[in-house]
Structure 1
Amino acid sequence: MWNSSVTLITGATGSAGSTPTFLSSPFDVQFDQYQQMYVVDYGNHRIQQFTLGSNVGRTVAGITGSAGSTRGQLNYPAAIYIDSNDVMYILDSSNYRVIQWPLGSQLGSVVVNGRGAGSTLDKIGVSYAMFVFNNTYIYVSENGNHRVTKWTISNNNLGQLMAGGAGAGSTAERLNSPWGVYV
């Protein structure tokens, strides 16, 4: 039977904010091996970490309210993955890149693209979802390019087309603004 009761963990229904207890357009949630929760705080350009039982977040990537493209900043992050080595992979949507960011570090390293938006296979377009496979490949669901690309973490120079890419559409070889990917 469906449990219809909801427990609010952090933030406030209908209210956005940038303090440690508020979020602005949260996009994704992941848990690490220690059961700490990480929230992609899209509107505040940051990743917030929440300890079990606490509604107070701590910024672990990005700078609250400050969009940017340096290795210490994020610009509308959209998705996150945390591996068993305590490394975050962050889809930094408006910088058209994926950043590898070790927990506890002040800086990340670009592992996918980082060369600006585009539709050629050396760039990614507007994206809101990714999937990290075996800490080797990153699949990016490119909403704006109507495609899914696969990138090798050790060589981010060129992505491989996995699906779509021939423009928006509903035929077998086309995708229309994909928002998710799971491998």
Structure 2
Amino acid sequence: MLWRKNSSAGILIAGTGVSGTSLNKFSTTGGLKIDSQGNIYVVDHGNNRVMKYAQNATSGTLVAGISGVVGSNNSLFDQPYELDLDENNSYIYIADLNNNRIQRYQFGVPDIGITVAGGNGPGSNDNQLYWPTDVCISKKTGDLYISDFANHRIQRWSPGATSGVTVAGVTGISGTNATLLNGPFSIALNHNQHRSSQVNKSNQKRHRTLVRIGLIVVWIVLFIVVYYMSPTNDDNLEEFDPFLILDVDEEASNNDIRHAYHELSKQHHPDQGGDPENFKKLVKAYKILTDETAKENWRMYGNPDGQKELHLGYAIPL
């Protein structure tokens, strides 16, 4: 039945309301899924089959199992319960309750199923299921999630795996606390959450990229600031000009420099009442201008010892 929102009555879209084995009837129905084309897939577990109803169809098409026949081979079911669709790969997955397995059928091939989980008899081992009642496929990974009813657990089987992993509940133990399940019957996956996770990962990656760019910009700005505050800046060079201190021009000979130094020393020597700091500058200026290498270094780099490298430590996260 189809019940539209706020409707007071339903619309019959599959079956007749009378039990039967013909293609327009059901015996006892189980799971139901609707594909992207609007086709309805119904588990008719009383008839051990899965039926497909196209839109507005008055009878169904057999897509898995053989009507009214119970069995354990790959063409038959023993009370199928729920199903899920993998439209990307044209597969239908069916929980085969009493055969303790999950069967996969190709769309359009109703008589050949493949066991993809369980099928090793009822039991609680990782390669067994005990009354699986529901199955869901992850659109993201292809993993199957199975309600393993009698084992009180949810199992995850990866594609091609020969055993499952318990992802909820404790095998063989039922209970009501937060770690236990009691006969889990149905299961559903939030596929939107998978997409949301991808969006979040994309946003996180974008955020990390912006952080890296920001750190690089900060490092460049810091380098520029430190560079212009370093002693090699022209403004700082003017604070100590040996030619200005000795009051000689740049073409002055060593004799002129020596004469100027001696005359100024008489005025600024601390023993003569001069300022010690000014005298230190005087001595420094004299040493620079009487050493050709030091003089040239000062002219080029503002430092008698030559160019000084600016060392900055930095770290850019990868």
Sort the TM-score into its range (normalised by shorter chain).
over 0.9
Counterparts of 1:178 and 1:55 in 2: how far apart (Å)?
34
- Residue deviations 1:3-28 (CA, integer Å, cap 9, x gap): 12101112234x32111111111111
Counterparts of 1:22 and 1:165 in 2: how far apart (Å)?
40
Which residue of structure 2 aligns with residue 53 of structure 1? 56
Moved over 6 A (4+): none
Which residue of structure 2 aligns with residue 76 of structure 1? 79
8 Å contact from structure 2 (residues 93, 135) kept in 1: no
Which residue of structure 1 aligns with residue 44 of structure 2? 41
Counterparts of 2:35 and 2:74 in 1: how far apart (Å)?
22
8 Å contact from structure 2 (residues 101, 132) kept in 1: no
Structure 2 residue corresponding to 1:17, chosen from 6, 12, 20? 20
Q: Counting helix residues as a fraction of each chain, which structure ranks higher?
A: 2
Structure 1 segments unaligned to the other structure (5+ residues): none
- 1:99 paired to 2:103: yes
Question: 1:93: Cα distance to partner?
Answer: 1.2
8 Å contact from structure 1 (residues 32, 86) kept in 2: no
User: Alignment partner of 2:98: what SS?
Assistant: helix
- What's the RMSD between the two structures over aligned residues? 1.5
Q: Counting strand residues as a fraction of each chain, which structure ranks higher?
A: 1
Question: 1:33: Cα distance to partner?
Answer: 3.0
8 Å contact from structure 1 (residues 139, 148) kept in 2: yes
- Residue deviations 1:56-114 (CA, integer Å, cap 9, x gap): 01211100010111111111111111212321111111111111110111301111111
Structure 2 segments unaligned to the other structure (5+ residues): 190-318
- 1:178 paired to 2:181: no
**Letter matched to residue 51 of structure 1:** A
8 Å contact from structure 1 (residues 38, 49) kept in 2: yes
TM-score of the superposed pair, with normalisation by structure 1: 0.92
Counterparts of 2:143 and 2:102 in 1: how far apart (Å)?
12
Higher relative contact order (CA 8 A, sep 6+): 1
User: Alignment partner of 2:41: what SS?
Assistant: strand
Structure 1 residue corresponding to 2:148, chosen from 139, 142, 147? 142
- The higher radius of gyration belongs to 2
Counterparts of 1:11 and 1:62 in 2: how far apart (Å)?
18
TM-score of the superposed pair, with normalisation by structure 2: 0.54
Counterparts of 2:122 and 2:96 in 1: how far apart (Å)?
12
8 Å contact from structure 1 (residues 87, 101) kept in 2: yes
**Sequence identity (%):** 28
- Residue deviations 1:123-179 (CA, integer Å, cap 9, x gap): 011121121113621111111111111111211x21101111251110122111111
- 1:108 paired to 2:113: yes
Counterparts of 2:82 and 2:187 in 1: how far apart (Å)?
11
Counterparts of 1:59 and 1:120 in 2: how far apart (Å)?
33
- 1:3 paired to 2:7: yes
Q: How many residues are matched?
A: 181
Counterparts of 1:3 and 1:162 in 2: how far apart (Å)?
39
**Letter matched to residue 169 of structure 1:** G
- 1:124 paired to 2:122: no
